Amino acid sequence: MASKNIMDFDTVALDDAKGALVIIDQTKLPNELKILELTELKDIWEAIYLLRVRGAPAIGVAAAIGIYLAARQISAGDNDFDTFYSKFTEAKDYLASSRPTAVNLFWALGRMDNVVKANSDKSVEKIVEKLRDEAVEIREEDIRVCRSIGEYGLTLIQDGCGILTHCNAGQLATVKYGTALAPIHLGRERGYNFRVFADETRPLLQGARLTAYELQSNGIDTTVICDNMASQVMKNGWIDAIFVGCDRVAANGDACNKIGTSGLAILAKYYGIPFYVCAPTSTIDMTMKRGEDIEIEERPSHEVTEMWYKQRMAPEGVGVYNPAFDFADNELITAIITEYGIARPPYSASLKEIFAQKELTRHVGD
């Protein structure tokens, strides 16, 4: 299995016959490609919390499949709708507690909840069927969305460009293609040759462990740098564009992403390098007015002091601040790339236009 290209595997999938959520265990990469088949809700919750599955879109898909599997198990009992919905809500709230920042988690669970409420007049068995259909659609939609983001992003760069990215917003963060890495993967399909610099992304090293692994597997020229080397790489003139993903975008365009993104945006502004945020509309939260309104997850201190070391690398008892995310102020962002087009400042207006385009497209599809 490990000899295959990582691009040959879906990051998140449903095995309906086994009643399992199938994921790549990303805590084992790059040294081991391990596939997990999760059937119990507590194991799915743990997989999200422990970042076995991570990346906002992938978390959303995993949550949708997870709540469908929970509903399937709940329906095995002799339940009327009220009893079923009570247990379904309990399972949904439990999954929602796994991580607080990525809006896709709540977006996907909300969509699944809407399916139940819209079909309350039907049998529990029929509701579960519709939940399966919705979970599969959320997964397939993620693939379409990421490819579209890749197409729009590819219009902003040329063959031979040097690109800097942070964390992992590639296929491993979605079902396929990724968000920030989608233009790179699509370009690769078309014979483009990009030079990619991947921030290692302390403290969990998603750039070094995941992005570098994914890009190298796909034959893309990739160089890992420590996070504090980004300024020098930009100063050297090696970077033509910066592409990052996001976990939540506020209505004003402030983009919340893995910790360190804000610093990159500030550096990009100084060096005059375009800074692009790749954001599926599912990650744009128009109920959040600004970045300061977004809850920032704080992770355990051992991720900083012990996780990657044979011996503890900080004195016992020292204070540790370990926020998982920060946000790039909208004034630092050149453009936000969505599946419905590219939004540019002022984002308070252009993001509304993106959602208007989304609504128009939905009606045309109907």
Annotated catalytic, 247?
yes
In whole angstroms, how far apart are CA 118 and each of 95, 114, 138? 21, 6, 17
Instruction: State the Cα torsion 46-51-57-60 to the nearest 10°.
Output: 10
> Residue 249 is encoded by which pair of tokens?
């975008």
Written in H, E and C, the secondary structure of the chain is CCCCCHHHCCCEEEECCCCEEEEECCCCCCCCCCEEEECCHHHHHHHHHCCCCCCHHHHHHHHHHHHHHHHHHHCCCCCCHHHHHHHHHHHHHHHHCCCCCCHHHHHHHHHHHHHHHHCCCCCHHHHHHHHHHHHHHHHHHHHHHHHHHHHHHHCCCCCCCEEEECCCCEHHHCCCCECCCHHHHHHHHCCCCCEEEEECCCCCCHHHHHHHHHHHHCCCEEEEECHHHHHHHHHCCCCCEEEECCCEEECCCCEEEECCHHHHHHHHHHHCCCEEEECCHHHEECCCCCHHHCCCCECCCHHHHCCCCCCCCCCCCCCCCCECEEEECHHHCCEEEECCEEECCCHHHHHHHHHHHHHHHHHHHC
Q: Which of 142, 199, 227, 247 is catalytic?
A: 247
Q: How far apart are CA 336 and CA 330, in angstroms?
A: 9
Q: Which residues are the active-site residues?
A: 247
